[in-house]
Structure formats: C-alpha cells, structure tokens
Amino acid sequence: MKIRTKDIHCHILPGLDDGFQDAGKSLEAIRMLAKAGCREITFTPHINPEQFPDTDEKLVRERYAQFVKQIPPELGITTSLAAEYMIVNGFEKRAMENPESLLCSSDKSVLIEMSYYYRSPNLEETVMGLVLNGYRPIIAHPERYLYMATCLDDFDSLRGSGCRFQLNYLSLAGYYGPSSVRIIKYLAKNGWCDFFSTDLHTVPQLYNILHRPLAMPIRFSRNPAVRNLLQL
C-alpha cells in the first residue's frame, strides 16, 4: 500500500502510551515513513485518563520538545503535535467548557476516538461542544467501531454535525473483517474518507502497511467513488 504525504495519526512519540517505547525505534519508523514518501507527521499520543493516567498535555508537550531534536533534518520530515482523545465520561464537558486546553492541530482539528466495544454515550455532546467552540472534530478510525456497521445512518448525522473521518491503512487491507470493510465502503461511497493514517504503534505494523494489498472487496469494488478514493 502507498503512504500519503501526511500522517495525522500515529503513536510514534515514545514512552507515553501503548505505542513506541524506545526512541531508537521511533526514529527507525520515521526513516521508513520518509522513504515511503511521507513528509508531514502529526504525533497523536492517546490521552485517556482511564488507561494512561500519567499522560497529560503537559507531559506530551515536554516529550515532544525532547524528541523532535533527535529527528535528522535530512529526512525532510515536518512534525507537529496533537493527541488522540478518548471520549471518556466527562470529556464532553471539556469539549464544551475548556476546549483551548486540548492538543489540536493549527486548524483546530481535534482527533477523538471511542472504545472498540461500545459507542461513547457522550459522542454527540462532545462533537457539539467542539463545533460550537470553533473546533473541528475528526473521528479516528470509524471503520474499527464494528458496532456501527449495523447503523450506517449514524455516519450521516455525525457528518451533518461537522465530523470528518480518518481511516487506518491496515483497515483497508481487511485487517478488521467484513464489518469494517462495509463501513469503509459506505464512507467512500459518500466521499467521507477524509484522511488515511498509519495509527502506527510499532515498526512491524509499518512493514504490514507497506506490504499488504487492499482487501479484495475494496480492490474489486465496482463503485467508481470507492475505486477512486481507495486506490492508494
């Protein structure tokens, strides 16, 4: 699979979450991404107080400042810092009352995610809070929320509320099964595949991304919109 020039979602910044732990491996991944044609990387560590209670914006900023100095300039990679926010209980309050505390991109895009097992009951409130405050929610890997494959209309209302969608390359290879592919095809048909990203946690994952072909139902889809969007 080909990598696009921008990667807006990865866990390469070391020692903060369930992603990279070792700066040497992080640099190896960045070298590989550069070789594969990537030019801009946004580091997005998980901010999820339930799973990583020690990782907050302050720590993430400090680690970023230390780590970027180690990236060789000759790689020609531009980096920036944001985060992947789990929509835990209470996050909707933060989105509504204190969004300026969130790590987001310069165009105010905020990457948000949910559990793979259940839909966050406060998803709509979170999206509303962000949008009302002028922020731009991006839903991380919607194709991994398999419970949404049976209610695809949900994506229509999320789109209508101002959400954009970021898909993972590995999902395009069919890694998460037919329900995931169904979601991808639905988003592609509607022109809602806004970003493709690595969501990289390890170096072997990147080997997989670079060497796996698209899943058959995507590769051989007859829908021209799906073909156009997904022929990476």
Complex with Fe ion: residue 8 or 27, whichever CB lies closer: 8
Helix (H, G, I), strand (E, B) or coil at 75: helix
Q: Tell me the residue nearest to Fe ion as measured from the CB.
A: 199
Residue 144 or 185 with smaller CB distance to Fe ion: 144
How many other CB atoms are found less than 10 A from the CB of residue 212?
Answer: 15
Minimum gap (Å) between residue 74 Cβ and Fe ion:
28
Q: Distance between CA 46 and CA 19 in Å, rounded?
A: 9
Q: Is the Cβ of residue 53 or residue 224 nearer to Fe ion in the bound state?
A: 53
Provide the minimum distance between the beta carbon of 34 and Fe ion in the complex, in angstroms, as a whole number: 20
Q: How far is the CB of 224 from Fe ion (least distance, A)?
A: 30
- CA–CA separation, 27 and 144 (whole Å): 27
Q: Could you tell me where the DSSP H helices lie in the chain?
A: 23-35, 57-68, 91-97, 123-132, 153-160, 169-172, 177-189, 203-211, 216-219, 224-230
Residues that bind Fe ion (CB under 5 A): 84, 199
Closest separation in Å from C-beta 140 to Fe ion = 6
> Helices 203-211 and 23-35, interaxial angle, to 10°?
20
Residue 84 vs 143, nearer CB to Fe ion:
84
- Toward Fe ion, which CB reaches closer, 166 or 221? 166
Residue 216 CB, nearest approach to Fe ion (Å): 26
